[in-house]
């Protein structure tokens, strides 16, 4: 199904249609504010180097920018394909109906059933997931497939305590006890119902931004600076206590789906929750992440640089400003805080935007 909803027809008063998500670190609530703060600058070509949920890329897109969405995780690239590169393809009922039921002519595997029993989902839910993965992989149109992946990823997160895959904690869903957190009604809602809901939300968000946008799965340093006017940088965050946000570890189950045939050989069998083998990332360590900032600032020094950051991070805001001033004449820091992040207990942490041009 296709349509052509032009971003130029969207008024500022129209609701922001990017689907809600429980993805940790999502900028959905402040994405439009970020783009608004950059509106006085002269740029069209944007690299969202650590695209994540794609919420900020989406705000750039509906502002009419040419967006290159990028993320190191392949499952996130599918989100970028669905909502950033895709301008007019939506899901229809024929595609989404009974996505977890077997269909003739489709090859199905047993990877989830055989490797993740009693870890994240029930046996029946694992069976459903294996079938759904097979059906989605059989879809020929890349944008239809990406929208279906998006719907499956959001469904899988919704049924998880904390919306993460960092612990073997199915028992938290299944225990008949009084709860002070979480939403058991959401956890117990069927995968099929979740999938249909997110499919509708994703299709409603498809829009033609008026400029060709693309979704990539590369290292953030691999792009040509001369092809970009502005680089938006929102890397994994390291707290003041030195703890990094490990997206690879938090969402390894979703990433595994992207490597379905090879997934069993990629599992760290020493971990109780069967995470993927460790992906060493210089951004996640307080020993190396300042140098990572230096490298990316240096790489894209010819572009406007916009950095989303937390007020209590390592390196500090002051450290980043000092570093950015090596490459930019003008550096400003803007407080764009909204509500605190989901799952965060840090009441006084502020969301900041550092802009160098």
| Residue 343, pLDDT above cutoff 60 | no
pLDDT at position 177 is 63
| Residue 1, pLDDT above cutoff 70 | no
Mean pLDDT score of the chain: 91
Chain segment 232-255, per-residue pLDDT in tens: 999 999 998 999 899 999 999 999
Per residue, the 3-state secondary structure of 94-132, as one string, reads HHHCCCCCCCCCCCCCCHHHHHCECCCECHHHHHHHHHH
Distance between CA atoms of 275 and 267, rounded to whole angstroms? 6
| Residue 221, pLDDT above cutoff 60 | yes
Q: How far is CA 212 from the centre of its chain?
A: 20
pLDDT at position 10 is 40
| Residue 345, pLDDT above cutoff 60 | no
**DSSP secondary structure string for all residues of 34-51:** HHHHTTTS---EEEETT-
pLDDT at position 214 is 98
| Residue 181, pLDDT above cutoff 60 | no
Burial class of residue 227 in the structure, from the number of CB atoms within 10 Å of its CB (0-12 exposed, 13-18 middle, 19+ buried): exposed
pLDDT band of residue 280 (cuts 50, 70, 90) is confident
Which helix (DSSP H) or strand (DSSP E) does residue 216 occupy?
A: strand 214-216
Between 16-20, 107-111, 290-294, the lowest mean confidence (pLDDT) is in 16-20
For the chain, the farthest-separated pair of C-alpha atoms sits apart, in whole angstroms, at 62
pLDDT at position 11 is 41
pLDDT at position 36 is 96
pLDDT band of residue 347 (cuts 50, 70, 90) is low
**Omega within 30 of 0 (cis) for the link into 315:** yes
Residue 265 tokens, joined: 């050989």
Distance between CA atoms of 3 and 89, rounded to whole angstroms? 6
pLDDT band of residue 6 (cuts 50, 70, 90) is low
| Residue 171, pLDDT above cutoff 50 | yes
| Residue 260, pLDDT above cutoff 70 | yes
Q: Comparing C-alpha atoms, which of 324, 321, 318 is closest to residue 295?
A: 324
């Amino acid at each position: 199904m296709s349509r052509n909803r032009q971003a130029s027809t969207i008024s500022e008063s129209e609701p922001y249609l990017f689907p809600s998500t429980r993805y940790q670190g999502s900028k959905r609530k402040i994405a439009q504010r970020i783009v608004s703060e950059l509106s006085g600058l002269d740029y069209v070509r944007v690299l969202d180097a650590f695209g994540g949920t794609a919420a900020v890329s989406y705000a750039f897109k509906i502002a009419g920018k040419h967006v290159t969405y990028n993320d190191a995780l392949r499952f996130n690239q599918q989100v970028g394909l669905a909502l950033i590169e895709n301008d007019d393809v939506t899901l229809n009922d024929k595609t989404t109906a009974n996505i977890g039921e077997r269909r003739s002519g489709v090859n199905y595997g047993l990877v989830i059933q055989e490797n993740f029993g009693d870890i994240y989902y029930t046996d029946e839910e694992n069976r459903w997931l294996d079938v759904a993965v097979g059906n989605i992989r059989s879809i020929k149109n890349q944008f239809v497939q990406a929208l279906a992946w998006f719907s499956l990823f959001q469904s899988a997160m919704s049924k998880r305590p904390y919306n993460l895959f960092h612990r073997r904690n199915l028992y938290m869903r299944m225990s008949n006890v009084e709860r002070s957190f979480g939403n058991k009604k959401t956890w117990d809602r069927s995968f099929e119902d979740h999938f249909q809901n997110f499919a509708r939300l994703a299709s409603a968000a498809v829009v033609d931004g008026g400029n060709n946008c693309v979704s990539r799965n590369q290292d953030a340093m691999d792009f040509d600076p001369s092809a970009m006017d502005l680089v938006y940088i929102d890397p994994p965050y390291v707290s003041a206590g030195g703890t990094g946000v490990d997206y690879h570890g938090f969402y390894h189950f979703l990433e595994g789906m992207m490597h379905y045939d090879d997934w069993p050989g990629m599992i760290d069998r020493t971990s109780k929750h069967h995470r993927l083998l460790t992906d060493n990332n210089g951004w996640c360590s307080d020993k190396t992440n300042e140098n990572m900032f230096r490298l990316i600032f240096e790489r894209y020094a010819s572009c406007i640089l916009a950095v989303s950051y937390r007020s209590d991070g390592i390196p500090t805001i002051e450290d980043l400003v000092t570093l950015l001033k090596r490459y930019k004449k003008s550096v400003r820091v803007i407080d764009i805080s909204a509500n605190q992040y989901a799952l965060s207990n840090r009441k006084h942490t502020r969301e900041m935007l550092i802009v160098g041009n």
